[in-house]
Structure formats: C-alpha cells, structure tokens
Amino acid sequence: MAIKGLEIRDISATRYAALGISKVPRMTKLIDLSTCIGCKACEVACMEWNDLPVDETYRATGGYQTIPDLAHNFWNLIKFNEVDNGNGLLWTMAKHQCMHCENPGCLRACPAPGAIVQYTNGIVDFVQENCIGCQFCVTGCPFNVPRISPKNQKVYKCTLCSDRVAAGLEPACIKACPTGCLQFGTKEQLLEYGRHRVRELRSRGFKDAAIYDPPGVMGTHVIYVVPYGNHPEVYGLPADPRIPALVSLWKGPLKTIGSTIMLGGVTAALLHYLTYGPMEVKPDTDVKKQR
C-alpha cells in the first residue's frame, strides 16, 4: 500500500487504473523572488539531504553563481543575473529546479514504463530503475530540467523531497531558507499567499508583479511570485512554457495514428498470411554470411 500522497496518479508509458476516492492535497512550493537573497542555503540543503556527490570540476563562471547549470548531481540552482531594465540595476537571484508540472512533459514523452510517475500529491518523480536513458524526457520538459548522468545513463532531477513530504516534512530547501522566500503548502494555500504578496509588491510600485503558474502545462507545483511579472525571462523563467509540439503530437494524434498504422500493418500481415500463406525460405539462403 502506497504512503498517503504517494499513490500513483499518472505513470509513463503505462495504462493505469484510476485511484480510489480519497482526495489528497496537491503540495506546492512557492518561491517569492522579491525576498530571495541568493544565499544558496537551498542549494546546500539539497546537496546534503539528497546526498548528492560533489562534482569537483565546477568553477566560477562569473557573477556569484559558481555552478553553471543544473546537473544530474545538482538539482537546485540559484541563477544570478545582472539586468538593467531601464528602472536602474536589478540583480536577480532565482532558484531553479523541477517545476513539478500538473501536465508533465517529461512523463508524456517517456517511453519507459514506470520510469516517470506523478503522485497524487502532485510531485513528479523519476524512478531510475525503470529509466532506459533515452532522454525523451529532456526533450519533453519545457523548463530544461532533467539531466542525464554520464555514469549510469539515467536521468535525475529534483524530487521535491518526496521522501520528506511523505513523512510529513517540508522539502529540505524550504527547511533551510532563512528569509521565508520559500514556502511549502497546498496549492490553494500558496496561491492565496502569493496573491497577498503580489498585492503588497504592487503597493510598493511593482505594478506588474504576478504569480508564475504557467497554464501551458496546466500549472505547476512550484510557483513563483515575480516582481516583474511581465518579464519572467529576466529571472530565467520561460514566458509561456508548453510541452514541445513533437511530444504532444507523438503522444496525442500521432500515437493514435501510429497505433492505427501499426494495427493496420498487423491486420494486413494477417490478411496476407491468410490469403497467401506462409513465405517459404529457400534452404540455400546464407543467413550467417549476411551477418
């Protein structure tokens, strides 16, 4: 029996029966970009809780950000950015990690049964033992999050500390955040809190402050309060993320068409067999030589 909240709601490349009737709160992380001070406590907490091996080859790349990008062994990154937006200088610090989409592109794209799951509490998790290393999830993710490990060819990303959450704890990054920039709760709670923050920011003159909860993926379980809501790209957030057309096509109409074609092929073969009988192989065909 699955732990409460970790019952599987959706699963890659598998038909799965709908779950029972109990309603599970959809857990969400809120990142208030107006109060992030770029202290990297979340990065450290993530590294320590998940026991991620430290890659010694990282070095400064300019600015205060010393780790260039998310990695298979680095799931939580604050991106620093100096921006002159006309109102003076901005020094943005924005935490990036898996967004835990309501409609996860990775899961849609994944051909490996059971490699990607979405739990009833909203967390999207990778199950590495089922991963085949095809990286379709990388293509499927509109936020460019999954990273493949060069060591075992499996894909990794933030789990939203599904283990902690299942035990009633907040994710490690949220526990470590000193300013309250990171909050954890149900989606409803945090949307309400986010709206309150947006009102406060607007009263301070950030007239475009907004919540970032992109509808293109049916919303996310990591939402942001963005002071310059009209320019989320300033913080490294895509303005209108959507599951890539290829994945939607492949798993939508193409899947049906593909299945139809495949079914047609099988039917045709059967008809051919019934009509013409089995193909006879001549004994002098040198199969070995062809290899």
Q: CB–CB of 43/36 below 8 Å?
A: no
Give the bridge partners for 155, in sequence order.
148
The candidate with the shortest Cα–Cα distance to 235, out of 245, 224, 250, is: 224
Contact with another protein (CB under 8 A): which of 34, 103, 139, 248? 34
Q: How far is the CB of 208 from another protein (least distance, A)?
A: 17
**Residues in binding contact with another protein, number by CB under 8 A:** 38
With binding defined as CB under 8 A, does residue 53 bind another protein?
A: no
Identity of the residue, 196 or 272, whose beta carbon is nearer to another protein in the bound complex? 196
Measured distance CA(114)–CA(269) in Å, rounded: 31
* Backbone angles phi and psi of 82, in degrees to 5: -95, 125
Q: How far is the CB of 145 from another protein (least distance, A)?
A: 21
Give the bridge partners for 90, in sequence order.
83
Contact with another protein (CB under 8 A): which of 1, 17, 20, 59? 59
With binding defined as CB under 8 A, does residue 37 bind another protein?
A: yes
With binding defined as CB under 8 A, does residue 192 bind another protein?
A: no
Q: CB–CB of 39/61 below 8 Å?
A: no
Contact with another protein (CB under 8 A): which of 1, 15, 62, 240? 62
Identity of the residue, 8 or 90, whose beta carbon is nearer to another protein in the bound complex? 90
Site string for another protein, 78-117 (x = CB under 8 A): ----x-x----xxxxx------------------------
With binding defined as CB under 8 A, does residue 125 bind another protein?
A: no
Contact with another protein (CB under 8 A): which of 16, 64, 263, 271? 64
**Site for another protein, residues 195 to 234, rule: CB under 8 A:** 197, 200, 203-204
Residues in Cβ contact with 272 at an 8 Å cutoff, skipping those fewer than 6 apart:
none
Rounding to the nearest 10 degrees, give the CA dihedral for residues 89, 95, 97, 101.
-80
Q: CB–CB of 118/124 below 8 Å?
A: yes
The candidate with the shortest Cα–Cα distance to 46, out of 94, 93, 92, 97, is: 97
Q: Which residues bind another protein (CB under 8 A)?
A: 34-41, 43-44, 47-48, 54, 56, 58-64, 66-67, 82, 84, 89-93, 178-181, 197, 200, 203-204
